[in-house]
C-alpha cells in the first residue's frame, strides 16, 4: 500500500501506475497544475484507489513524456489507459479538470 497525507500541487502526474501493479493507493487529495498534467494515470492493475478529498488538475494542452516520447496531452484529472484497470475508486470530493483543453 502506498499512503501519503497529501500531494503538493505540481506539474506532471500525482499518481502514475504504469510499470508494476499496486494493490492500494490512498491519498488525502491529489492536485496537479500545468499544461498536460494528469492527476492520476493508470496503465496497469490498481485494485483500490482512495482519495478522501479532491482529485483535480488545471491546465490545457501541453507536452508530456509518454514512454520516452514527448506527446501533446490535455490536462486531465483521471486517466485509465489500455491495459489499466481500477477495481474500486473512492473519491470524497471532486474529480475535476479546469482550464482550457
Domain count across the chain: 1
Full residue range of the structural domain in which residue 39 is found: 2-94
Any domain includes 88: yes
Q: What is the pTM of this model?
A: 0.79
Any domain includes 101: no
State how far the Cα of 88 lies from the Cα of 54, in Å rounded to an integer: 16
Contacts (Cβ under 8 Å, ≥6 apart) of 54:
29, 30, 31, 91, 93, 94, 95, 96
Any domain includes 36: yes
Digit-coded pLDDT (tens) for 65-91: 777 788 888 889 999 999 999 999 999
Given a contact cutoff of 8 angstroms between Cβ atoms, the answer to whether 26 and 3 are in contact is: yes
Amino acid at each position: 500500500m502506498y499512503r501519503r497525507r497529501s500531494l503538493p500541487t505540481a506539474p506532471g502526474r500525482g499518481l502514475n501506475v504504469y510499470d508494476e501493479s499496486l494493490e492500494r493507493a490512498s491519498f488525502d487529495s491529489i492536485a496537479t497544475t500545468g499544461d498536460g498534467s494528469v492527476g492520476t494515470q493508470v496503465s496497469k492493475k490498481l485494485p483500490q484507489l482512495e482519495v478522501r478529498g479532491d482529485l483535480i488538475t488545471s491546465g490545457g494542452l501541453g507536452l508530456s513524456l509518454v514512454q520516452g516520447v514527448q506527446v501533446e496531452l490535455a490536462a486531465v484529472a483521471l486517466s485509465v489507459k489500455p491495459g489499466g484497470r481500477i477495481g474500486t475508486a473512492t473519491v470524497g470530493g471532486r474529480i475535476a479538470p479546469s482550464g482550457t483543453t
